[in-house]
Every structure is written in structure tokens, then in C-alpha cells.
Copies of this chain bind each other. A is one copy, B any other.
């Protein structure tokens, strides 16, 4: 059940079989949530964290006039709100962008995990810092990349993150989002995302159609995006 989560962790650290079993047994409940639901509301005190088993979640902040900014996408294997363990409540909402299967892990269980297995304590602290690294990359995207490079960079990031958990190959991946979802990620309008995707298609770099991303020219796409996967901290972290 937690294979994708383990794959994500093991892309950066070693996790023993015993630790893996401890993580698995920390899960209190598994449930399915349809798309478009708020899974974790802002400001509410939390006593458990949400591990995403399948589907896509978004963290977002709303503005006054109904504009929404997604600050991070989560894919299968991600702890969507591990940071709620130290923070106790969130400053933003988390919602499903697709139907999702999620596992609930009580904070008490997280505490016990990190106490009994200090290695997991470091691994999970690392995981929250990795989210911060992704936030920084998006900040860079929004501040300094053109719309075209911005969308390209998002497609690149998702390819790498989905490959880690076995949900993408070099040719592409499923991404059952709308163009409006992408717009809310990248600080654009759905109209402009539409034109940007057309441009990527015309340039022969990538296609986003029917909830499917097809990478036609990875090198060209990565160059256009100035994509450097360093911020995803892949490969074993030397200790």
C-alpha cells in the first residue's frame, strides 16, 4: 500500500524493512475522496497527517476576488501535510484535483516513529524541507520565467516526481488536470495556458491532451524551461 511512499523516500535515503513496516503500521485509516474536495482546511487544529496513496492533491491559497494560487502539487507517495505535525494547523487549504486515495497517520504515530527510529525523523524532516525546495522553485518560476518556460518547467518537475514513484516513463505520464488547474499553479489564466500548451505542441516539445502529458523532446523542453532537477534532491543524500 505504501510502496510509492517508500519509493519516494528511498530515492533519497535508505529505509530498512523494519522501518518500512513501522510506517505501514502507523496508518490509522484509508479512504477514497472524490475530486474537488477540501481534504485539509486551513486554520483547523490537526492531529493527523495525510499520506497520498493515489491521485493528485493541491495546496492552495485563495485571494479576496476569488483568484486562487496553487502553491504545490502532490502526487502519490507524498505526505501532503507532514508539516502539520510540527505546525499543528495549516495556513492554507489542501484539496483533491482528481479522485484520491489517502491514508491518515495520527501525529502520535508520527511522534512514535521518529522517536523509535531517529533515521525516520531525519527522513521526514528532510521531506518537509523538500517541499520548501519545491516552493522556492515555483517562486522562481512565477517571478522570472515566461509563461512558456513556466509551464514547461512544471511538466518537467512532474515527470521527474512521477518517475520516482513509477507513474511516468520517458514518454510521458497521466495528468488528469484541467488547463485551469495548471493556470492556478503557474499564476496564469486558463486562456493563456491554452495558448502556451499550443505553443509547446507546435514546437514539438510536449503535448497535454486528454489528461495525458506526452514528452516529445525532453532535451528541448528542459532547455526551454531552464530545468535543473537539483532542487528535487535526487540520489542518496550522503550522511
Contacts and interface: CB of A to CB of B under 8 A. Distances in A.
B63 A226 contact: yes
Given A128-B132, A131-B132, A136-B71, A144 B187 contact: yes
Complex copy number for this chain = 2
Interface string A101-144: 00000000000000100100110011011111101111110111
A69 B140 contact: yes
Contacts of A239: 88
A138 B143 CA distance: 10
A129 B91 contact: no
A10 interface: no
Per DSSP, are chain A's interface residues mostly helix, strand or loop, or mixed?
Answer: helix
Interface of A: 42-43, 45, 59, 61, 63-64, 67-69, 71-72, 83, 85-88, 91-92, 115, 118, 121-122, 125-126, 128-133, 135-140, 142-145, 186-187, 226, 230-231, 233, 237-239
Contacts of A125: 85-86, 125, 128
A69 B239 CA distance: 30
A138 B140 contact: no
A144 B63 contact: yes
A83 B138 contact: no
B143 A187 contact: yes
B129 A83 contact: yes
A44 B63 CA distance: 38
Given A85-B125, A88-B238, 17 more contacts: A63-B140, A67-B144, A71-B136, A71-B139, A71-B140, A72-B136, A83-B129, A86-B122, A87-B126, A87-B233, A91-B136, A92-B136, A115-B118, A128-B128, A135-B135, A139-B139, A143-B187
Contacts of A91: 133, 136-137, 230-231, 233
A136 B233 contact: no
Contact of A139 (B122, B128, B135, B231): B135
Nearest to A84: B129
Given A131-B132, A132-B83, A233-B87, A139 B69 contact: yes
A226 B63 CA distance: 8
Contacts of A115: 118
